[in-house]
């Protein structure tokens, strides 16, 4: 049984959905006819899924979606948008606001139940998409943060956490002390041959860390011929085993078609930035480029060198975006890389490990 929030200003439709979801599907249903009231209920006691109408007084369903996505407690819940409009631009507007699915009115109840069960199943196996971390500027510590976050979640979550190092020549395996004898280049070759990747094939290319973390490594030698295309990236994401939760991605530092697929499918886009002016400027430009997915973007400040940080508010003013988390400089990180033991594992009380713990909590994980 799941708890489902239904937000719609049509009283008859509210009652019909309550009857269907409670009596036919056995779910607990919370109803609201006003957007501010429904939003307050969701934030006070987060549901497992929200069904939200677009056209309501005081606040649109799109704004409800955006506010749910920006609150850590509700950032990852599945959201189904209902609207009387059926144009492609309306679907794009719903997805850009943070919705996971979209239905047009009038709603057929058997179709609604099918969509609800699919969304709940996706939520139980890691949400609506991967957590994608990237920066268009090197040297900002994307791999360090994502490795520690993935290791932390792998130790504290009941489900299986997967980390995909999709960089041309990444260092996830190095930081974890794993030998990348299997890596993504082999999967690309399989996708080119078979045009499909089944979960068994993907699992066969994964490395397993002592925390239980599953890792798709990057090749040590950058491949000349095997590169990710849009179709191959879609094939990989479609073939991921359903028991991976969450799937995290150390993404390439570019905006080609393959990365675009990652951004389209992502539940959260984590942008890493250091306090240096050049890194801040690059992140400002990146946020503009990623404006179609602005509601999914989370900016993470990572201090990779010693020294005093500029005031947090000054950085946020420059970015025109609040910071989701701040990871402090930690001199122990250099030794952790040499020892191949993430700080969240070897020194959980260290400044970096505590910063990553705060990041996990800000993203809505219970750790």
Taking only the tens place, the pLDDT of each residue in 28-39 is: 999 999 999 999
Residue 296 lies in a domain: yes
pTM: predicted TM-score of the whole model, two decimal places: 0.69
Per-residue pLDDT tens digits for 79-134: 999 988 777 677 777 777 778 788 888 888 888 888 888 777 655 444 458 999 99
Among 124, 147, 169, identify where a domain stops. Answer: 124
pLDDT at 125: 42
Residue span of the structural domain in which 316 resides: 131-362
Q: Is the pLDDT of residue 333 over 90?
A: yes
Per-residue pLDDT tens digits for 36-90: 999 999 999 999 999 999 988 889 999 998 888 877 778 778 899 998 877 767 7
Residue 67 lies in a domain: yes
Among 124, 154, 184, identify where a domain stops. Answer: 124
Residues 154 and 290 in one domain: yes
Residues 166 and 261 in one domain: yes
Residue 343 lies in a domain: yes
Residue 166 lies in a domain: yes
Residues 141 and 286 in one domain: yes
Among 69, 93, 124, identify where a domain stops. Answer: 124
DSSP string, 142-202: HHHHHHHHHHHHHHH-SSEEEEEE-STT--HHHHHT---SS-HHHHHHHHHHHS---HHHH
Report the C-alpha gap between 319 and 264 in whole angstroms: 22
DSSP string, 316-354: HHHHTS-EEEEE---THHHHHHHHT--HHHH-TTSHHHH
pLDDT at 188: 80
Number of CB atoms found within 10 A of residue 336's CB: 23
Per-residue pLDDT tens digits for 163-187: 999 998 899 999 999 998 889 988 8
Residues 47 and 178 in one domain: no
Number of structural domains the chain divides into = 2
CATH number at residue 49: 3.40.50.2300
Question: Is the previous residue joined to 246 through a cis bond, with omega within 30 degrees of 0?
Answer: yes
Residues 232 and 353 in one domain: yes
Query: Both tokens of residue 339?
Result: 């020892």
With bands split at pLDDT 50, 70 and 90, how would you rate the model's confidence at 347?
A: very high
């Amino acid at each position: 049984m799941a708890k489902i929030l239904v937000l719609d200003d049509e009283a008859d439709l509210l009652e019909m959905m309550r009857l269907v979801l409670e009596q036919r599907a056995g779910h607990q249903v919370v109803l609201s006819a006003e957007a501010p009231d429904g939003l307050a209920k969701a934030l006070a006691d987060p549901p497992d899924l929200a069904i939200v109408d677009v056209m309501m007084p005081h606040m649109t369903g799109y704004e409800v979606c955006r506010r749910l996505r920006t609150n850590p407690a509700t950032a990852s819940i599945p959201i189904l948008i209902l609207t009387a409009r059926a144009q492609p631009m309306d679907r794009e507007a719903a997805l850009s606001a943070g919705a996971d699915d979209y239905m047009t009115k009038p709603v057929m109840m058997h179709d609604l139940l099918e969509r609800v069960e699919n969304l709940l199943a996706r939520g139980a196996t890691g949400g609506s998409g991967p957590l994608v971390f990237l920066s268009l500027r090197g040297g900002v510590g994307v791999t360090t943060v994502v490795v520690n976050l993935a290791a932390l979640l792998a130790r504290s979550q009941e489900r299986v956490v997967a980390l995909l190092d999709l960089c041309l020549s990444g260092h996830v395996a190095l930081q974890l002390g794993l030998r990348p004898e299997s890596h993504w280049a082999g999967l690309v070759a399989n996708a080119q041959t078979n045009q499909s990747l089944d979960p068994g094939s993907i699992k066969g290319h994964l490395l397993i860390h002592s925390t239980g973390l599953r890792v798709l490594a990057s090749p040590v030698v950058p491949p000349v011929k095997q590169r990710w295309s849009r179709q191959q990236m879609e094939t990989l994401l479609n073939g991921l085993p359903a028991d991976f939760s969450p799937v995290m991605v150390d993404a390439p530092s570019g905006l080609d078609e393959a990365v675009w697929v990652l951004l389209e499918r992502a539940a959260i886009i984590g942008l890493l930035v250091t306090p240096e002016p050049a890194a801040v400027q690059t992140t400002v430009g990146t946020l503009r480029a990623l404006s179609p997915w602005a509601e999914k973007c989370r900016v993470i400040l990572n201090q990779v060198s010693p020294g005093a940080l500029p005031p947090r508010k000054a950085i946020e003013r420059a970015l025109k975006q609040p910071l989701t988390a701040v990871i402090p400089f930690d001199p122990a990180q250099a030794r952790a890389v040499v020892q191949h033991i993430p700080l969240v594992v070897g020194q959980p009380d260290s400044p970096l490990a505590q910063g990553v713990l705060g990041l996990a909590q800000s993203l809505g994980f219970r750790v």
